[in-house]
Chains A and B, each alone.
Chain A
Amino acid sequence: MAKRIDVSGLTAYYGSHKAIEDISMTVEPRSVTAFIGPSGCGKSTFLRTLNRMHEVTSGGRVEGKVLLDDEDLYGSGIDPVSVRREVGMVFQRPNPFPTMSIFDNVAAGLRLNGNYKKSELSDVVEKSLKGANLWNEVKDRLNKPGSGLSGGQQQRLCIARAIAVEPNVLLMDEPCSALDPISTLAIEDLIGELKERFTIVIVTHNMQQAARVSDRTAFFNLSAVGQPGKLIEIDDTERIFSNPSVQATEDYISGRFG
């Protein structure tokens, strides 16, 4: 289920602007990898290339390879829609469908994938909400709109929605940046549980968060505004935060950054 991601020589553009250049890395299955770096360094862009969401933006295009186990996501004949069913995503701002109930939000992905019996749907919804540590808070109001929940609950609802379709990889784009510290802690605990089942990649601006939740950390940087972002280094989180091999990483982590 959880798959390895193997990126080689990946470059992404917005129109003629090169956003990230020549990125290669490997993400192990059942691990948490955190992307850190200053704003505009392309870490979110890179994340969105991993489920082919980058090309949704007008002018977005990608060169290079992203292998999920042995399958190239950008190979010819690969449907981006099916890629996104394998690689789930959680966004910066909680975005449950406002017109759907809590139940329907979680079931939304399943309903796209085919016909399920009502009882099957109920089982998956319960399992997913439990998996997102939300079940106890919402089990009595599954038919109420998801937009009535608090921000942290909405984000866990979005996680439940993403894991309901059993993706191989779960991408998280600053999932806690719109949340208070208590909700953030709940999500971080959840990430620790989810990595037993999924390959997780998380973009964060919060370096303590990266240190707390991730096994590996990748540092991205750009040489100047308008220049493409690059992967500076990727290593075990402990090593990145104690003894990084590149000076720029240490400067960034210790707050000595320009």
Chain B
Amino acid sequence: MDTSTQITDAPPPAQPPAVDKRAARGATRPGDRIFLGLSRGSGILLLVIMAAIAAFLTYRASLAISKDEGNFLTTFEWNTNAVPPVFGIAVLAFGTVVSSIIAMVIAVPIAVAIALFLTHYAPRRLSGPIAYVIDLLAAVPSIVYGLWGALILVPHMNGLFGWLNDYLGWTGVFSWEGGAPRSMLTVGILLAIMILPIITNVSREVFRQVPQMHEEAALALGATRWEVIRMAVLPFGRSGVISASMLGLGRALGETMAVATVLSPTFDIQASLLDPGGGTFAQNIASKFGEASVFGQDALIASGLVLFVITLLVNGAARAIIARRKEYSGANA
């Protein structure tokens, strides 16, 4: 018995160490080598693409920013044909962030509620069709959302805007001077509808994966259905919901056509979410790129670089939030 274990455990001393090392890496068989090459190549390709995008954006942006007479970050103007050119991203950064925040505030709670309903409340024959309809929402092209927003949503916002102005107008954030409701709030609501499916679907998958034993643990303690969700489902799904929200936020930050169709853009910041005006990075690029000079394009690319950085920062922040409570996540259960 002893000798037999020795033979299987210890490598024959005659074998050269180089072969051993390769065996440990699992790359001796052709299939393994090919797969290793493919997967490693894909990983490297991704990094190369990201680096290339960043390099392109940075190069073209630097051409523009070096000639900008205004402060690129704080100027409330976009006039690339002026001599000297004056442009800045303050309005765009504000509009992009504000419209996305509105969209998240509206969409995340609704999406989580829908996902919980589908996984824990709805009877199975109902949850399938509902999930399918939500998937369909994700398949609608954004220009269709834009048209719907401009033709249907905007004319119907007057009632809501009047109500908000009556009761919350004193805050300043919800005051309304009676202009067409092509404002940040309308854009935010439209974006919320657009990002709802992705957040709902990812959250639903996460909630579905909550191990039954955790839900039973809560049930056996005498938890009601809501308490089971609070004790076992939501904490387990927390990081997944954050990831889902980040996917949605990414879409909201970069959404172009729907915003461009609904918003009536101006190059100033409205204190009220209800008064028309403002702009977002993507909307501004889309509406100006066609007629821009080469220099004008560089300036728009510079604004694109800022959007790129904002998106990276948001993703980084989300990862930090998830990592901070890693040891409490369901992953090590």
Chain A residues in the interface with B (C-beta under 8 A):
51, 53, 56, 81-86, 88-89, 91, 93, 95-101, 108-109, 112-113, 144-145, 147-148, 158, 161-162, 165
Q: Are B219 and A99 in contact (CB under 8 A)?
A: no
Q: Are B236 and A99 in contact (CB under 8 A)?
A: yes
Q: Are B236 and A112 in contact (CB under 8 A)?
A: no
Instruction: Tell me, yes or no, whether B321 is within 8 Å of chain A by CB.
Output: no
Question: A110 — nearest CB in chain B belongs to which residue?
Answer: B221
Q: Are B222 and A81 in contact (CB under 8 A)?
A: yes
Instruction: Tell me, yes or no, whether B6 is within 8 Å of chain A by CB.
Output: no
Complex: A99 Cα to B214 Cα, angstroms: 10
Task: Count B interface residues, CB 8 Å.
Answer: 25
Known A-B contacts A81-B224, A99-B238; the reply to A145 vs B219 at CB < 8 A is no
Complex: A165 Cα to B332 Cα, angstroms: 27
Q: Are A88 and B220 in contact (CB under 8 A)?
A: yes
Instruction: Tell me, yes or no, whether B328 is within 8 Å of chain A by CB.
Output: yes
CB distance from A2 to the nearest CB of B (A): 18
Known A-B contacts A81-B224, A147-B333, A148-B327; the reply to A97 vs B219 at CB < 8 A is no
Q: Are A97 and B220 in contact (CB under 8 A)?
A: no
Question: A92 — nearest CB in chain B belongs to which residue?
Answer: B213
Q: Are B221 and A84 in contact (CB under 8 A)?
A: yes
Per-residue interface assignment for chain B, residues 251 to 277, with 1 indicating a CB less than 8 Å from any chain A CB and 0 otherwise = 000000000000000000000000000
Instruction: Please give, as numbers and ranges, the residues of chain A lying within 8 Å of B211 by CB-CB distance.
Output: 95
Known A-B contacts A98-B332, A98-B333, A99-B328; the reply to A84 vs B235 at CB < 8 A is no
Q: Are B235 and A112 in contact (CB under 8 A)?
A: no
Q: Are A100 and B235 in contact (CB under 8 A)?
A: yes
Known A-B contacts A93-B213, A95-B213, A99-B238; the reply to A84 vs B232 at CB < 8 A is no
Instruction: Tell me, yes or no, whether B105 is within 8 Å of chain A by CB.
Output: no
> 12 additional contacts, CB 8 Å, given A91-B216, A145-B332?
A91-B220, A95-B216, A96-B217, A97-B232, A98-B236, A98-B329, A98-B332, A109-B221, A112-B222, A113-B222, A148-B332, A165-B221
Known A-B contacts A93-B213, A97-B231; the reply to A53 vs B332 at CB < 8 A is no
Q: Are B332 and A158 in contact (CB under 8 A)?
A: no
Complex: A108 Cα to B221 Cα, angstroms: 8
Complex: A88 Cα to B217 Cα, angstroms: 10
Q: Are A162 and B220 in contact (CB under 8 A)?
A: yes
Question: A98 — nearest CB in chain B belongs to which residue?
Answer: B333
Q: Are A99 and B213 in contact (CB under 8 A)?
A: no
Q: Are A145 and B220 in contact (CB under 8 A)?
A: no
Instruction: Please give, as numbers and ranges, the residues of chain B lying within 8 Å of A95 by CB-CB distance.
Output: 211, 213-214, 216-217
